[in-house]
Amino acid sequence: MQLIPHKRFIKSVIIFFFASSLLFSQTSDNPWGISLGTSIIDVYPTGLNETSPFGAQGEFLESFFNVGDHWNIGGPTISISRFVAAGFSVGLKYSLNNITKVEGSPSADYSYYNADAFLKWAPLQTKFRPFLTGGYGFSSIDIQPNNNQFFLSKNVAQTLFGGLGLAYGVSDRFDISVQSAFRSTEESYGTDHFEHVVSFHYNFGGGDTDGDGIPDKKDECPEVPGLKEFNGCPDTDEDGIIDKEDKCPEVAGLAEFEGCADSDGDGIADPDDLCPDIAGSPEMNGCLDSDGDSVIDPEDECPNEMGPEENNGCPWPDADNDGVPDPEDKCKDQSGPASNNGCPEMATEVIDEINKIAPNIYFVADSDALIGKKTFATLNEIIEILKANQEGVLNIEGYASSEGSEEYNEDLSLRRAASVRNYLIQQGISEERIITSGLGENEPSGNNETAEGRTENRRVQFKAKL
């Protein structure tokens, strides 16, 4: 049969919908939906002429909102649909009704049903979502008496339909919608009509692994229950920073410290602050250093006195009160200047007098043993000089000739100095007045290439400076 203009329009809409749906691949959140609603049938504003089963009706869209005279409000409608992509859904719908309002037929009482496959397009993802719908199905108006009531009876007509509607999103899963569609039948015994539907929709089927009500597709933390305002991620300490970006997820903190607190307000986050409850400096990792000795107060056994770290922040003791700390003082019990390592200085004249006779002290080759009467006579003379001059500390330096290794000669020279020291102490000189050092084969006084020179290099010298 020849299509009237509005039928051509309906068919164009259907073709557009199905062609457009091929452009998108399948993806979804809560992709399935079921709906239950009320079907409203109106045969008046359809442009039907005298040849239609109902006879002539109104012009197309005439008295469209004449609810009292033309709208057959009644039966249920149910549908199931599947979201496809980009606002497109496909589905199946079934409606029941009873038509009693037909212009020119006051005694009309016809049962009605339809069954459809539809495509819906809702391009906006907002609370209020306008949509277009269209599809293909079957419509049945029982207008022929004693007709077979089975689905494929003569009252069943193939139907193309298209329309529009508006949905309101109550929540992520619930919608309310109203829609109106013009249904155009393709058989001569069919009847064009409008169907308006008011329905409630429940959407489901989207994965929600953590059960927080946010679909996995939209959930940035799909395996941990979270909050909608954080796209499904938790914020355990409620500081506005999601746990996965929060270095301190269980303690409320500030964004500038990546979610951690700064309890003492010193600008150092608590996890990086060795003293989180006392304001300190960044140089001291958030702690105080009251005495400025670079040892933080909690580790400083003398927080108000400067001292080295090796002594736990306390000043070194100075037993003789000479201003030279004991670890640096070679004469801890005798006052002396720092220039002489804390030891009292012996007069230069005394040292010169001792060194004049020191070359007369001899040692056995490759030994620290003293040898010769002249050696002991010289040592006894040194003892008398020291007894006559009680001030100062004497440093005995031992030397060796070049035979042997440097390490051996250094050890040998130190033992030679110790031999002299031991003799002096045995003869009554205080051990606190004598220290020793070994210089090995350094600073030779004789020629190591000759026997005489090597003998000369096996010696000791005396100094006042330590």
pLDDT digits (tens, 9 = 90+) for 281-302: 999 999 999 999 999 999 999 9
pLDDT digits (tens, 9 = 90+) for 317-356: 988 888 889 888 888 888 888 878 888 778 889 999 999 9
Residue 382 pLDDT > 80: yes
pLDDT of 80 reads: 97
Residue 125 pLDDT > 90: no
pLDDT of 1 reads: 37
Distance CA 52, CA 61 (A): 17
Q: Provide the Cα torsion 137, 142, 146, 152; round to 10°.
A: 0
3-7, 104-108, 319-323, 402-406: segment of lowest average pLDDT: 3-7
Distance CA 144, CA 147 (A): 6
2-6, 270-274, 305-309: segment of lowest average pLDDT: 2-6
Tell me the mean pLDDT in the region 377-388.
95
Q: Which residues in 445-465 are b (16+ Cβ under 10 Å) and which e?
A: ebeeeeeeebebbbbbbbbbe
Contacts 24+ apart (CB under 8 A), 15-24: 17/119, 17/121, 17/132, 17/134, 17/135, 17/162, 18/119, 20/88, 20/121, 21/84, 21/88, 21/90, 21/119, 23/86, 24/84, 24/85, 24/86, 24/88
pLDDT digits (tens, 9 = 90+) for 57-75: 889 999 999 999 999 998 8
pLDDT of 365 reads: 83
Tell me the mean pLDDT in the region 10-25.
38
Tell me the mean pLDDT in the region 28-33.
78
Whether 117 and 109 have beta carbons less than 8 Å apart is answered as no
114-123, 147-156, 184-193: segment of lowest average pLDDT: 147-156
pTM of the shown model:
0.46
108-122, 185-199, 235-249: segment of lowest average pLDDT: 185-199
Residue 28 pLDDT > 60: no
Distance CA 320, CA 357 (A): 33
pLDDT digits (tens, 9 = 90+) for 242-279: 999 999 999 999 999 999 999 999 999 999 999 999 99
Tell me the mean pLDDT in the region 426-450.
91
Whether 209 and 70 have beta carbons less than 8 Å apart is answered as no
Query: What residue ranges define each of the domains in the chain, with the CATH number in brackets?
Result: 5-204 (2.40.160.20), 348-463 (3.30.1330.60)
Q: Which residues, other chains included, contact 464 with Cβ-Cβ below 8 Å and sequence gap of 6+? A: 340, 345, 346, 347, 348, 350, 351, 392, 393, 394, 395
Question: CA gyration radius for the chain?
Answer: 55
Distance CA 330, CA 230 (A): 70
191, with CB counted inside 10 A (0-12, 13-18, 19+), is buried
Tell me the mean pLDDT in the region 378-391.
93
pLDDT digits (tens, 9 = 90+) for 451-462: 889 888 889 999
pLDDT of 402 reads: 86
Distance CA 81, CA 177 (A): 14
Tell me how far CA of residue 274 lies from CA of 46, 263, 265, 413, 427, in angstroms: 83, 12, 13, 51, 59
User: And the tokens for 361?
Assistant: 């002290």
Among candidates 118, 97, 96, 78, which has minimal Cα distance to 200?
A: 78
Tell me how far CA of residue 454 lies from CA of 60, 155, 279, 358, 398, in angstroms: 136, 139, 68, 16, 14
pLDDT of 150 reads: 44
pLDDT of 146 reads: 46
Among candidates 345, 363, 349, 376, which has minimal Cα distance to 403?
A: 363
The band of 392, judged by pLDDT with boundaries at 50, 70 and 90, is confident
pLDDT of 224 reads: 92
The band of 2, judged by pLDDT with boundaries at 50, 70 and 90, is very low
pLDDT of 326 reads: 87
Residue 428 pLDDT > 80: yes
Residue 368 pLDDT > 80: yes
Kindly report the number of other CB atoms within 10 A of residue 46's CB atom.
22
User: And the tokens for 447?
Assistant: 């020629």
pLDDT of 19 reads: 36
Instruction: Please give the mean pLDDT across all residues of the chain.
Output: 87
Tell me the mean pLDDT in the region 160-185.
94
What does the longest C-alpha to C-alpha distance in the chain come to? Answer: 160
Residue 137 pLDDT > 90: yes
Phi, psi of 73 (to 5 degrees): -95, 125
Percent of the chain past pLDDT 70, that is, above it, reads 91
Distance CA 155, CA 183 (A): 15
pLDDT of 144 reads: 61
